Each structure stands twice: as structure tokens, then as C-alpha cells.
């Protein structure tokens, strides 16, 4: 299968290049970048030396890509808004597309406009798109040729919390979430606030009270519980390159039973290769998941408040972006779910 990465110069795009260049069932045939057009991939991305021979960055138009006969799957590693410009002709041409942006994660165009500050660029595709969290959704190309790959923060929250809402083990109200992300989550654009001297030895909240990912988090949790869910979400930027650590405080429904929570997880994620349930009292650490497609999570019960405290950790660029997209492709294409993934 021949793959194309559109927007391969950003952090998520670079991870995709690293993963797909060595994937046993994929030939990485095209990588695009307006800023690196004409540059050899091995020169622009020295990490790829010996793995991407003769592959050059290019900058074809969306229509040119849609008309190509030799490319089977397209990964959109582009900012929201821009991704839709490519998705429209590709999807309409019947191409298989996995979008890593936020353009097709929400079902409601008004909700998109509320959180992203602009009208949805392709509302006609929203009904075609399928939200692609592999552990919770039955993915296949037969159902949709447009997969919306989940955001990094939402993944760290939905994976541990959604099964508990679905099983009725926790309340829908009073949920408080704190997340810490590495600086790579802010992208590669030049910004004074992202300079080393600004971020080193510094941690700060941002995006309060309505971070863009809040819309995605609430929609997916609402689907799991069959009722509206409102959460208080507090993202922070931490002085590390990559990784997300999340803490979720959620009221128990009935008597506290942390073993019941663990049993719920074990049943939901039985046989899933990238979910790791840690013993109660052992807390996930980004240092233990960075460089992998794994998400670690655990639970402790707070008898004093009647709440469960769920904690999770993931690599924001792999499980939170490129790796998760490859995982979805593997499942949809009938490959081994773990193929090409660390």
C-alpha cells in the first residue's frame, strides 16, 4: 500500500515519516511540505538517514493529489482549516484519508465554530467522517474513507474515563481534569513563549476556561454515557519536550470500588495491545511511555471525597497523534494492529 503524508515537516508529520518509512505493509511514496519542497527527506530529517532514500518533499495541490492513481492512503498532518482543503477533493475522489487535525472530530459545525473561531470549512463531510479512537470504535474503510484521528489531550482522558461512564460507575457531573503537555504539543511555529529560556524551569496553565479540545472531550464522553457531559478541563504546558500526564477527579456513583473500575477496564480493553492498566496506587509516568504508542492509566479511591482519581500518561506525538493514526490504518486495512508501532 502506497502512503502519502501531507504536511510532513511538523512534529506529528515527522513522527508519521519515522513510523511509515519502516512499516512492513506500507511504502512511503510521497511526503509534502511547502517549506521543504525539493529537499531530500534524509537531509531535512537526519533521523531518517538510510530509511528514506530518494524520497523528496513535494508540494502538489489538493486536486493533483486527488487525481493520483498510485497513492492509496493519505495522512493529513496539517492545521485545522487547512486539512479540510485537502480532505474535500481526496474524500470526494474516494481516497482513504486519516486526518490528524480537528476538522472532522466534531459532529456539529456550530460547535466547531464556537471553539475554533471560524465556520467549519467542510460541513458536508461531517456525516461521512468517523471518529477514530481504535480502542473504543469499530474502525473499517467500509464504514468511512475519512477517519478523524483523536486529539492528544482527549485520548489521555477518553480512554480511562469513557468506559466508566458507559458502565455507570461514575457520575456525569463534577468531573475535573488537569493535564500537562510537553512543548511539542504547541507545534513548530516560531513563538517567543516557546523559546527554551521561556519554557525551561516553567509550568503554566493555558487555554482556560475553554481549550479547543474541550469540545471533543465532552462530545465523546457524552456519546459514551448517552447523556450530555460537562467537564472542567485545565491544560498546562510543562517543561518537557513531549508527553502528556493527565489526572481526572470524578465522583463515584454509589460505593467506591476501585477493583470494580479496574475490572471494567480489563473487560473493555482485553486484548488491546496499547492499553496498560497499572495497579492501584502506581501512577503513570510520561518517561515510561514516551517513544511508544502505549497509554498507561490507573485508579485510586479517595474515601474522604467519594471520588475516583484516574491518572494516565501517553506520548503526545505517537499515541496522541502519528502512532494512533497508523494504528487506525492498520485496523482498517486488515494489518496487524501493532505493525510498525513501538
- The residues facing 234 across adjacent strands are 178
Order of all β-strands in the sheet with 27-32: 57-58, 27-32, 2-6, 73-76, 96-99, 146-148, 130-131
**In angstroms, rounded to a whole number, what is the distance separating the alpha carbons of residues 133 and 125?**
19
Question: Quick check: is 152 catalytic?
Answer: yes
Task: Determine which one of 4, 152, 264, 332 is catalytic.
Answer: 152
**156 three-class SS:** helix
Exposed e or buried b per residue across 181-217, where buried means at least 16 C-beta atoms within 10 angstroms of its C-beta = bbbbbeeeeeeeeeeeeebeeeeeeeeeeebbbbbbb
Name the grid cell of 88. Answer: 474535500
Alpha-carbon distance 252 to 146, whole Å? 36
Ramachandran class of 50: left when φ > 0, alpha when ψ lies in -120 to 50, beta otherwise: left
Rounded to whole angstroms, the Cα distance separating 327 from 338 reads 7
Active site residues: 152
Amino acid at each position: 500500500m502506497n502512503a502519502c503524508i501531507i504536511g510532513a515537516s511538523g512534529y506529528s508529520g515527522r513522527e508519521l515519516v519515522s513510523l511509515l518509512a519502516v512499516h512492513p505493509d506500507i511504502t512511503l511514496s510521497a511526503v509534502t511540505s511547502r517549506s521543504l519542497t525539493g529537499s531530500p527527506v534524509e537531509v531535512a530529517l537526519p533521523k531518517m538517514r538510510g530509511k528514506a532514500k530518494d524520497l523528496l518533499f513535494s508540494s502538489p495541490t489538493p486536486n493533483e493529489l486527488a487525481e493520483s492513481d498510485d497513492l492509496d492512503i493519505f495522512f493529513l498532518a496539517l492545521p485545522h482549516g487547512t486539512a479540510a482543503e485537502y480532505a474535500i477533493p481526496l474524500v470526494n475522489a474516494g481516497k482513504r484519508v486519516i486526518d490528524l487535525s480537528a476538522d472532522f472530530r466534531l459532529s456539529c459545525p456550530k460547535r466547531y465554530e464556537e471553539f475554533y473561531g471560524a465556520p467549519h470549512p467542510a460541513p458536508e463531510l461531517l456525516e461521512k467522517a468517523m471518529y477514530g479512537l481504535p480502542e473504543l470504535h469499530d474502525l473499517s474503510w467500509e464504514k468511512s474513507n475519512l477517519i478523524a484521528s483523536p486529539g492528544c489531550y482527549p485520548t489521555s482522558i477518553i480512554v480511562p474515563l469513557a468506559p466508566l461512564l458507559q458502565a455507570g460507575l461514575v457520575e456525569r457531573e463534577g468531573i475535573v481534569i488537569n493535564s500537562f503537555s510537553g512543548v511539542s504539543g504547541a507545534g513548530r511555529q516560531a513563538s517567543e513563549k516557546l523559546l527554551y529560556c521561556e519554557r525551561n524551569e516553567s509550568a503554566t496553565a493555558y487555554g482556560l476556561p475553554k481549550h479547543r479540545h474541550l469540545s471533543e472531550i465532552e462530545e465523546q464522553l457524552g456519546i459514551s454515557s448517552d447523556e450530555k457531559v460537562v467537564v472542567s478541563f485545565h491544560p498546562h504546558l510543562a517543561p518537557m519536550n513531549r508527553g502528556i500526564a493527565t489526572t481526572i477527579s470524578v465522583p463515584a456513583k454509589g460505593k467506591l470500588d476501585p477493583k470494580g473500575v479496574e475490572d471494567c477496564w480489563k473487560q473493555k480493553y482485553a486484548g488491546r495491545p496499547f492499553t496498560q492498566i497499572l495497579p492501584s496506587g502506581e501512577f503513570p509516568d510520561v518517561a515510561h511511555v514516551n517513544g511508544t504508542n502505549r497509554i498507561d492509566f490507573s485508579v485510586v479511591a479517595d474515601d474522604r471525597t467519594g471520588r475516583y482519581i484516574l491518572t494516565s500518561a501517553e506520548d503526545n506525538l505517537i499515541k496522541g497523534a502519528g502512532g494512533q493514526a497508523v494504528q487506525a490504518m492498520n485496523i482498517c486495512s486488515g494489518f496487524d494492529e501493532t505493525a510498525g508501532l513501538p
